Amino acid sequence: METAYFASGCFWGTEYHLMKAPGVIATAVGFMGGHLDHPSYKEVCTKTTGHLETVEVHFDTRLTSYESLVKLFFETHDFSQTDGQGPDIGPQYRSFIFYKNPEQKEMADRYIALLREKGYQVATALQPAGRFWKAEDYHQQYYEHKGSTPYCHTYRKIF
């Protein structure tokens, strides 16, 4: 079992795609990267906490790889957009990969370089993973419980 952390706009849409990936055992939505302990959704929405809406992904390395999740991350959001994602504007919606170890950082760097070689502008930033603060229960698996699909995240094959 390994853990990964991805931020790509609204965490509901990010989680929707990642939780359906083969080999993903569990996901949770929450916050990472800021300075406030135990942030609430309402506090993060003030744009003053430094936190990003983030998805925590637990996956079985016998069934999938970190590389596969990085590809899916890039294929399900607009990684060229700065300060938001689609209609969601603000620093809490930026494109970020929080890496847990040098191998994860190297893989993320490799795919950012590959995208740039393909001519894409990449706004995705990398940062070491810090403390993950789980969001309130009503945010977890939001689209699964709602029975609908995200409006701000769609899949497009790139790799």
Q: Which positions are annotated as active-site residues?
A: 10
Provide the strand spans (E) within the chain. Answer: 2-8, 24-32, 52-59, 84-85, 88-89, 95-99, 125-128, 133-134
- The rounded Cα 88 to chain-centroid distance in angstroms is 14
| Cβ proximity of 124 and 97 under 8 Å | yes
User: Nearest-CA neighbor of 72 among 120, 107, 101, 32?
Assistant: 107
